[in-house]
Chains A and B, each alone.
Chain A
Amino acid sequence: MSDIKDEKLEAMLRTRRFESASPDLVERIILKAQSIPQNQTVSLWQWLRQLFAESHLAKPAYVIAGILILGFVIGFSAPAVTTTDDTDTAQTQGFLYADEGLL
């Protein structure tokens, strides 16, 4: 009995009437979209790609720029060699003190 009720209810649910959409709904949506500009959300990667795409540089230019940047990075990040400097400073100071002795 319950199965019959289930089936009848499901049949009613599947055959619910409804009003069809206007035949021009699709065209209306398409036409309206043509007058609306898109809001483009650009990710950082896309922005970088666009930036480089607009600069139109030849590939070797990027290689040279890349090597230069790498050189600067290595140059600035290398630890300063202070031993030689210290020796030079000590020698200079010793020379100056020697002069003072004469005076």
Chain B
Amino acid sequence: MAAANWPDKDDHELLTLIQDGSHPAFAELVRRHTERFYRLAYRYVQNKETAEDIVQDAFLKLWENPGTWEAGRNNKFTTWFYRIVANLCLDWQKKKRPVELPGEANTLADDQEPVDAAMIRIQEQRLLEREIGDLPERQRMALNLCFDQGLSNQEAAEVMGVNLKALQSLLMRAKTTLKDRLKAYL
């Protein structure tokens, strides 16, 4: 099959081919989705190497056991895989707590920003990450999916296996807590 055809195939077609042992189909799926799943993992573990390891682990598990994907049971690959990556992150957190927050080196300042403004922004970001890290796990996941991954509330609810109202409630509670804790910066 010509390489140019791979990007035209949807995720379900690629997964069927992966179940038949197709490496090019797997490569296309990895190219297509690594960035978004890495981003989610990074939000959980706050560490580049660990986030990369988790995403690699998730994809390799899919390759090794392609039968875990059941087209009839799962509507959308990304919804299903978000859950897998999130579960791996939670497993990691249970073993390796506490999460290392980004230090000065990881919270880069914009070159053109005045020094004072940059310092305040860096401080804001560090505090925000700390407060998000202290939220209950489900509230944190709801925030990450909706604000960081850009999922709609409905999609985020599907990933988390809750109904829309429950998700909205999680988001509201998370935002109320953050607004209270970050009031000096808002």
Interface residues of A (CB under 8 A from B): 4-6, 8-10, 12-14, 16-19, 21-22, 25-26, 28-30, 32-34, 36-41
Contacts and interface: CB of A to CB of B under 8 A. Distances in A.
B38 A21 contact: yes
A30 B30 contact: yes
A30 B125 contact: no
B23 interface: yes
A21 B125 contact: no
B52 A38 contact: no
B35 A21 contact: yes
B16 to A, nearest CB: 13
Closest 5 CB pairs of A and B: A41-B67, A13-B147, A21-B38, A33-B63, A5-B186
Contacts of B129: 16
Nearest to B108: A17
A92 B167 CA distance: 87
A41 B34 CA distance: 25
Contact of B52 (A12, A22, A33, A36): A22
Contacts of B85: none
B82 interface: no
Contact of A21 (B51, B59, B147): B51
Chain B contact surface mostly: helix
A9 B182 contact: yes
26 contacts: A6-B179, A9-B182, A12-B182, A12-B185, A13-B147, A14-B147, A14-B148, A16-B43, A16-B125, A16-B129, A17-B108, A19-B42, A19-B48, A21-B34, A21-B38, A21-B55, A22-B48, A25-B34, A25-B38, A28-B56, A30-B23, A32-B60, A33-B63, A36-B60, A38-B21, A38-B66
B12 interface: no
A10 B55 contact: no
A16 B125 CA distance: 7
B107 interface: yes
Interface in B109-165: 124-125, 128-129, 143, 147-148
A16 B128 contact: yes
Contacts of A8: 186
Contacts of B106: 17, 19
B34 A29 contact: yes
Nearest to A30: B27
